[in-house]
Amino acid sequence: MKGWRELEIGAVTEAGSADEYNTGSWRAFRPRWIEENCIQCLFCWIYCPDSAITVKDGKRGEFDYKHCKGCGICAVECPGKKGKKAIVMEEEGK
């Protein structure tokens, strides 16, 4: 580990380094995406307080479970299709 003389002052670090940390391990509930109920509205992507909904070419993909905290906001906001949610929360480890 580095001593105080070797560290950049003010704890200024490289940009985006939080990406390397597995903060998904804090999760107690795990969102599951049910693709057939998804209308690709991207509400989940907008509402996610982390950046745990991956989006490519304007379409949502899998959750980024390395960073998803399992807060459940996406599941609440998801309109789904014909009353059927496209995101459900499930207890971790079950």
Partner 1 sequence: MGKVLAVTGNQAIAEAMRQINPDVCAAYPITPSTEVMQRFASFVANGKVDTELVTVESEHSAMSACIGASAAGGRVMTATSSQGLALMWEMLHIASGMRLPVVMTLVNRALSAPINIHGDHSDGMGARDCGWIQLWSENAQEAYDNLIQAIRIAEHDDVRLPAMVCLDGFIISHSIESMTFLPDEVVRDFIGEFRPKHPLLDVNNPVTYGPLVLPDYFMEFKRQQHEAMLKAKDVVLQVAEEFEKVSGRSYGLFEAYRLDDAELAIVVLNSAAGTCKDVVDEYRDRGVKVGLLKPRLFRPFPYKEVAEALSGAKVIGVLDRAESFGGFGPMYMEIASAMMSNGTNPVMIDKIYGLGGRDFMPEHAAQLIDELKEILDTGKVKLYKDYLGVRE
State how far the Cα of 62 lies from the Cα of 7, in Å rounded to an integer: 37
Closest separation in Å from C-beta 69 to partner 1: 15
In contact, 27 and 75? CB cutoff 8 Å: no
| 78 counts as binding ligand SF4 under rule CB under 6 A | yes
Closest separation in Å from C-beta 93 to ligand SF4: 16
Closest separation in Å from C-beta 3 to ligand SF4: 36
Mask: binding to ligand SF4, 47-76, rule CB under 6 A, as x and -? Answer: -x-x-xx------x--x----xxxxxxx--
**Contacting positions for partner 1 (CB under 8 A):** 1-4, 7-18
Q: Please report, as residue ranges, which positions from 6 to 35 form the binding site for ligand SF4 (by CB under 6 A).
A: 31, 33
State how far the Cα of 87 lies from the Cα of 69, in Å rounded to an integer: 15
DSSP character for 80?
-
Query: 72 — phi, psi (to 5°)?
Result: 85, 0
Query: 7 — phi, psi (to 5°)?
Result: -85, 145
